[in-house]
């Protein structure tokens, strides 16, 4: 079986692994309902090069897609929207209104990186390398047909009705898609454990407090399965995009504990040195967090670019209190 073959995770639910950038992967999920839906579309090349062929090998046709359900507006999740609209011309694109600019404006995709570099000039070159990938991987601008309202339902026919659940934190307009009968939640990047890359932390761009509250909200739903946007790591170093039963429950609890712990450590570092700039607070906090987590810090700076987004979100919230 090819690495990018469609994997049937549950009856009628197919996961397709879409490669992008240098060794990264993002998941698209296809629901083979009377009105078929896809959750996230990968990057611009994914629909034609990966998702379409993978579904065809499973006897499914990507052109039948009626709903393109975006979990959020980040380039690795919506970059394939425009290509997919070209294949499935009858499909409606669905997203949360807080993500609107991501669908129209390339600059929105680079903002988090530019903001971080403004506080940490040492990462300017690295951030430029990251942001350079974006333009090639997103079909922009791309139309959104349905802007979600709170808890909106999406009827896929055959009694399959998904409910959109607002789960801000990683992005302001991140939504999960909840399938109540299956107790199945598609989470995008709404819950991440230790993140998708070894040696780092979850990526939290919008709000660390919202990220924790959203995980608490997912825990209350008591999902039987999580279908996530990447192969996220747990504390034991296991990588998986789909977790079921006790493994899903444990992953949610761990994800919450990790961010609570990081918030405590950043809070202590900021209290100890209230006038220090973010870079010094981050360095002090990471030195403490290294004792608990397998962080791979850059030897030159004592920092880690991807780990800094969570710390920065926490630090900003502390300063605004």
Q: Interface with Zn ion includes 96 (CB under 5 A)?
A: no
CB of 202 to Zn ion, least distance (A): 10
Q: Interface with Zn ion includes 189 (CB under 5 A)?
A: yes
What residues are paired with 188 via a beta bridge? 228
CB of 74 to Zn ion, least distance (A): 3
Q: Give the x-and-dash track for 53-92 against Zn ion (CB under 5 A).
A: ---------------------x------------------
Give the nearer residue to Zn ion in terms of CB position, either 35 or 196.
196
Q: Interface with Zn ion includes 230 (CB under 5 A)?
A: no
Give the nearer residue to Zn ion in terms of CB position, either 19 or 267.
19
CB of 126 to Zn ion, least distance (A): 18
Chain residue at closest Cβ approach to Zn ion? 74
The strand ranges marked E within 169-270 are: 175-179, 184-188, 225-233, 239-244
Neighbours of 305 (CB within 10 A): 18
Candidate segments 83-91, 144-152, 155-163, 187-195, binder of Zn ion by CB under 5 A: 187-195
193 close to 202: Cβ distance less than 8 angstroms: yes
Contacts of 201 (CB under 8 A, 6+ apart): 194, 195, 258, 262, 293, 295, 304, 306, 307, 309, 310, 311
Q: Is 159 exposed, middle or buried (0-12, 13-18, 19+ CB in 10 A)?
A: exposed
CB of 269 to Zn ion, least distance (A): 26
Give the nearer residue to Zn ion in terms of CB position, either 99 or 189.
189
- Residues making up the chain, counted from first to last: 321
Q: Which residues bind Zn ion (CB under 5 A)?
A: 74, 189
């Amino acid at each position: 079986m090819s690495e990018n073959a469609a994997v049937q995770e549950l009856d009628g639910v197919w996961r397709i692994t879409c490669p992008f950038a240098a060794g990264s992967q993002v998941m698209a999920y296809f629901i083979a309902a009377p009105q078929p839906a896809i959750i996230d579309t990968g990057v611009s090349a994914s629909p034609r090069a990966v998702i379409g062929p993978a579904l065809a090998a499973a006897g499914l046709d990507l052109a039948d897609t009626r709903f393109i359900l975006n979990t959020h507006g980040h380039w690795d999740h919506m970059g394939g929207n425009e290509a997919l609209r070209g294949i499935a011309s009858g499909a409606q694109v669905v997203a949360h209104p807080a993500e609107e600019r991501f669908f129209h404006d390339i600059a929105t995709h680079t903002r988090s990186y530019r903001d971080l570099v403004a506080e940490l000039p040492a990462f300017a070159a690295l951030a430029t390398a990251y942001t350079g990938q974006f333009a090639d991987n997103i079909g922009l601008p791309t139309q959104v047909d349905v802007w979600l309202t709170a808890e909106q339902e999406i009827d896929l026919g055959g009694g399959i009705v998904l409910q959109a659940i607002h789960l801000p934190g990683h992005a302001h307009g991140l939504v999960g898609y909840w399938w109540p009968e299956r107790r199945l939640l598609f989470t995008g990047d709404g819950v991440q454990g230790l993140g998708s890359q070894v040696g780092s932390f979850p990526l939290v761009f919008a709000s660390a407090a919202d990220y924790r509250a959203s995980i608490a909200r997912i825990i209350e739903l008591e999902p039987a399965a999580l279908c996530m946007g990447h192969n996220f790591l747990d504390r034991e170093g296991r990588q998986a995009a789909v977790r079921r039963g006790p493994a899903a429950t444990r992953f949610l609890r761990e994800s919450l504990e990790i961010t609570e712990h990081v918030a405590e450590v950043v809070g202590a570092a900021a209290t100890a040195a209230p006038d220090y700039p973010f870079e010094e607070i981050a360095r002090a906090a990471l030195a403490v967090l290294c004792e608990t987590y397998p962080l791979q810090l850059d030897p030159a700076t004592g920092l880690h670019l991807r780990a800094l987004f969570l710390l920065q979100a926490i630090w900003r919230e502390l300063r605004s209190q």
